[in-house]
Homo-oligomer: A and B are copies of this chain.
Amino acid sequence: MTVDLYHGEPASNSLKVLQAIHEKGVPFTSHYINLMKFEQHAPAYVAINPAGQVPTLVHDGRVLTESTVINEYIDDAFDGPPLKPADPYLQGQMRIWTKYVDEVFRPSLSFLAWHRVIPGMAKALPEGEFEARLKRIPLKEKRDKWELAAKGGFSERELEGWRANLEDVSDRVESALAGHDWLVGGMFTLADIAVFAMAVSMPRSYPDLWNETHTPQAMAWMARMKARPGVAAALAMPDHTGMVSRKD
């Protein structure tokens, strides 16, 4: 059996899959893709994942993309502790969380980060280099969004919407954890993994929203997450971008 995982630093969607694969105890070969060098858009990687996105899992030659889909696959295809509740109703509740991360939490967090980071990154590159890198982004929609972010072109309405979403996320996570150690069904599941992959950066990036006073349950849950050997192993994976603070 061969399992190859292509991933960036232990953050966002890469962290999501790294947690699942470590928690499940699946032996795998790690292939680090440096996002700050745009390696996800390099021809060798695009040959594996035409969308030029991380992560990608290759299991015995079969290619899987989309972190949420990969995580369900890791739980279904390999031995190890279950990462989904057995009850279909609780599986549904778990999927409402993973879907909410994909549709609300992750994009809101990413676009706000792009808005902050990309203009400076574009300016720091030698002339013409940012444009050259843009051209290598396979998906037009993504390419357009990067270009727009570089110009600081997101509208105030969009930025406000994403900020409001992050408030909604904080409230939902906090109330879901009241009286519960984990988000769904009294067990650690792919819901905790998906939310944590994004939430881990919140206390540093949005200290007004995530802190001991405002979200005590969420902070305690994050400590429980970090104490898990699988999650800790995922967080300890290489980061050559400097984007992940080891102190988070």
What residues of chain A have their CB less than 8 Å away from a CB belonging to chain B?
Answer: 59, 62, 64-66, 68-70, 72-73, 76-77, 88-89, 91-92, 95-96, 99, 102-103, 140-141, 144, 148, 155, 157, 161, 164-165, 168
- A interface: dominant SS: helix
A155's contact among B59, B68, B155, by CB below 8 Å, is which? Answer: B155
| Least CB distance, A180 to chain B, in whole angstroms | 18
21 contacts between A and B (CB under 8 A): A59-B89, A66-B92, A66-B95, A68-B95, A68-B99, A69-B92, A69-B99, A70-B92, A72-B91, A72-B92, A72-B95, A73-B88, A73-B89, A73-B92, A76-B88, A76-B91, A77-B88, A99-B102, A102-B103, A141-B164, A141-B168
Supposing A103-B103, A141-B165, A164-B141 touch, asked if A64 and B92 sit within 8 A by C-beta, the answer is: yes
Alpha-carbon gap, A148 to B158, bound state (A): 12
Q: How many copies does the complex hold?
A: 2
Which of chain B's residues have a CB closer than 8 A to the CB of A165? 141
**A1: shortest Cβ distance to chain B, in Å?**
14
CB–CB B65/A96 < 8 A: yes
The closest CB in chain B to the CB of A100 belongs to: B66
Closest to A107 in B: B103
Q: A141-B161, A164-B141, A165-B141 are in contact. Are A89 and B64 (CB under 8 A)?
A: yes
Min CB–CB distance A21 → chain B (angstroms): 15
The 9 closest A-B pairs by CB, nearest first: A76-B88, A77-B88, A69-B95, A73-B92, A69-B92, A62-B89, A64-B92, A73-B88, A66-B96
Residue of B nearest to A162 (CB): B141
Report the bound CA distance from A168 to B142 in whole Å: 13
State how many angstroms separate the Cβ of A68 from the closest Cβ of chain B. Answer: 7
* Chain B residues, Cβ within 8 Å of A92: 64, 66, 69-70, 72-73
A79, chain B: closest CB distance, angstroms = 13
Residue ID in chain B nearest A155 by CB atoms: B155
Q: Which residues of the partner chain B approach A73 to less than 8 Å between Cβ atoms?
A: 88-89, 91-92
B-chain residues with CB within 8 Å of residue A99 when the two chains form the complex? 66, 68-69, 102
A77-B87 Cα distance, complex, nearest whole Å: 9
The interface residues of chain B lying within 8 Å CB-to-CB of A161 are 141, 144
A95 contacts across to B, CB distance below 8 A: 66, 68-69, 72
A99 and B98 CA atoms in complex are apart in Å by 11
